[in-house]
Structure formats: structure tokens, C-alpha cells
Amino acid sequence: MRKNKMDKGVMVGGAMMMPDKDIVDNAVNSSDHTTLVAAVKAADLVGTLKGAGPFTVFAPTNAAFDKLPAGTVSTLVMPENKATLTKILTYHVVPGRLLAADLTDGQTLTTVEGETLTVMKSGDSVMLKDAKGGTSTVTTPNIIDSNGVTHVIDTVLMPAN
């Protein structure tokens, strides 16, 4: 039986991202997403992101988190900052399964957090503009998960407040 391109996994962070694994199980295997996985655990979002979905996740790499001011991540994962961390992480999740081909230039996406992201698309290149005017580029699109799709991004997106 011949499989189409969507049935194959994609390599991310040195590991094969498999379509039969959920968003969390794929992310845990990526060496490029250890900060994101730690943050998701600190915010108690593992159960949510292992849920039925479907979800579209814009997953910042470790390098994306490293762009934040020094100490930001270690402060955010403290128990007393769980609400802020949860707000930032859920700002990276959109209900539904949106492939890069489904996104259009100027499209507004309402996140699980409640605020919006704006899609900026040119050819096959996809960027997102956050509520504060910052931008992030999708570096690896269309990682198919059993409960959604993940797009790797190079900058952490920030909600308005």
C-alpha cells in the first residue's frame, strides 16, 4: 500500500514526528522543543493538548524562547506565574486543524487564549503577527498529529496583556 506524503512523519529536533502520535507526544521527542514541553508541563496543559482536539499549535523552538529577555522563561515557569504562562501558551493554540495551505494572507485566527493572530502569507512562506505587533515565521509547517497539526515557529508570540 502506497502512502501519500501526509502519512509520513517529519523530522523535527532530531526526531521523527509521527501522525499517529498526539501533539504532546511528538513535541516531547523534539530536542528543539524542550523549553516548550517544560512550559506546557508547568502550566498543566499536557492533558488539554493530549485531548481530542483538533488543535493547531504554533510551537516555538528553544531558540525562540532564548530570544526573550534573560530570566523570562525561568520566571514564567514558577508556580506563582502559572496564569501568565498559561495565557502565553494558549495564545499559540488555535481550535481546529489548519494546514499552511488553509491559511491566507491577512486572515485573523482566534486563539484558545481569546486574542487574535494575523496571518501574513507570501507564496509558501507563512508568518504570524501577534497582538503586540511582533512577528514569527513558520519554519516547519504541517506536522500532522493524531489530534491536530503543529507548525514550528522561530519567535514566541505574545498576547496583548
Helices (H), the chain: 23-28, 34-42, 46-49, 62-66, 72-76, 82-90
**Greatest pairwise CA separation for the chain in angstroms:** 52
Whether 2 has a pLDDT exceeding 60, the answer reads: no
Q: How many CB atoms lie within 10 A of CB 97?
A: 15
- Predicted TM-score of the model (pTM): 0.92
pLDDT tens, position by position, 117-158: 999 998 889 999 999 999 999 999 999 999 999 999 999 999
CA end-to-end distance (rounded Å), the chain:
50
Whether 161 has a pLDDT exceeding 80, the answer reads: no
Nearest Cα to Cα of residue 157 among 81, 96, 67? 67
pLDDT tens, position by position, 24-51: 999 999 999 999 999 999 999 999 999 9
